[in-house]
Chains A and B, each alone.
Chain A
Amino acid sequence: MSSSARITRATLAKDIRLEWRSKDAINSMLFFALLVVVIFSFSFDPIAEESRHIAGGLIWVAFLFAAVVALNQTWARELRNSVLDAYRVSPAPPNALFVAKALGNFIFVCVLEALMAPLFTVFYNLRPLGPAWQLIPVAILGTWALVVNGTFFAAISIHTRSREVMLPLLLFPITIPALLAMVQATNAILTGQDSAKFWIVLLLTYDVVFTIACLLLFETVLYAE
């Protein structure tokens, strides 16, 4: 195994172990997403047949907001005891660290989605009329789109004042096309009226473009002093 892969694995294992013991991120994300579900239910009739048309938007907005909670903790944890500075002076490749952090966030948000999906189904009476299996690629590509840029922008926002506020301000405008694709794909599958193919391809393009951009620029951002 190359040194880069070993560093990725070690960092990822450390983050998962930390999360497993404290459950900070997952608990706050779960509760936050639950609150969003409940609060949204007051703005329209959640049982009505029309709720199918807005469910996609609701699910992904809830996940986006909840993901920010986990993303904000990504690097903030490393600032204590100057772990990030230690990383900067070590010869370890920066992209190994980035991939580990992005994968960690990906796993946390996927766990959140797996736990929240049944709840959404129950609360909003959802039953997909289209090909339901397509929800899986949409969820995987969509989650990666959120976390890859989220991890990168979290690394930018730790350099700023009021960093917790900064992350959504940077992340949301850039995420708009990905969010539109996730929402439209989910709606297309739930209503069964349109094909979700275009949106899945768009998500894939978004993921590829921004994964490459993050890997190319992360070193610059990490060493920015």
Chain B
Amino acid sequence: MKKAFPILAVLTVPLLGYAFYQAMFVAPADQMQGEVYRIIYYHVPSAWTAFIFFFINFVASIVYLIRRNPKADAVAVAAAEVGVVFCTVVLVTGPLWARPVWGIWWTWDIRLTSTLVLWLIYVSYLILRRFSQGDQMPVLASALAVFGALDMPLVYFSIWFFRTQHPQPVIGGGGSIDPRMLHVWLLNWAAFLCYGLLIFWACYRLENLKRELEETQSLESMLEAPRFR
């Protein structure tokens, strides 16, 4: 398993480079938006990657609550960290694109608002992990992760109803996507997913090493205590 990281890294780096070349130079310019649309090759793959990692976090949290396996908790925290980073990329690249195309940085539209709420929920999850410690922390964090996952459909439906009552600027034009664009888009998604998995794997290993180190240290301090001499 230790070799998984270098193998994945060797795969990811050229894939990212190739996907970048395709997105910037090969894919045709958009009929309506011109060159500015190319940010979509980063925006959408990041969003999908973030959602996948949040889902991994949800599953790992449930597994932890049932089995109490520390490995499941390490998966959950690594997935949440990587998910929040990708979700931040989505929230930053969105306004960068929206400003020239819509003329506004932000609109309280359904997708934007629910992504922001999703981001808020997982940031609060990471804050909880930072502010609590010991063996109880993974239990509390897993419970919060389950609540967050239960909340998301309600968030989506409430904002959907809220915003269909008050129409907003329409996103993009209808129209079909050029097959070349779709190809480049999927390529970028694959590259970002690999990159996400790479970082996720590193976070997971780091989390496990941290725990091993803590155990060793507490064991050593017990052995060094005066009464054992």
Contact = CB atoms under 8 A, between A and B. Distances in A.
Interface of A: 149, 152-153, 156, 159-162, 166, 169-170, 172-174, 176-178, 180-181, 184, 194, 198, 202, 205-206, 209-210, 213, 217, 220-221, 224-225
Nearest to B136: A224
Given A169-B124, A176-B155, A221-B139, A210 B131 contact: no
Contacts of A180: 158-159, 162
Contacts of B151: 173-174, 176-177
A217 B143 contact: yes
A169 B127 contact: yes
A170 B162 contact: no
Contacts of B132: 159-161
Nearest to A183: B162
Grouping DSSP codes into helix (H, G, I), strand (E, B) and loop, the B interface class, with mixed when no group exceeds half, is helix
A192 to B, nearest CB: 15
Grouping DSSP codes into helix (H, G, I), strand (E, B) and loop, the A interface class, with mixed when no group exceeds half, is helix
Contact of A160 (B131, B155, B165): B131
B144 A170 contact: yes
A65 B155 CA distance: 20
Interface in B74-122: 117, 120-121
A159 to B, nearest CB: 5
Given A170-B124, A198-B161, A177 B155 contact: yes
Interface in B163-218: 165
B165 A170 contact: no
B123 to A, nearest CB: 8
Listed from nearest, the 9 A-B pairs whose CB atoms lie closest are A224-B136, A224-B139, A177-B154, A160-B132, A173-B120, A177-B158, A160-B131, A173-B121, A156-B140
Contacts of A205: 154
Contact of B124 (A173, A181, A206, A224): A173
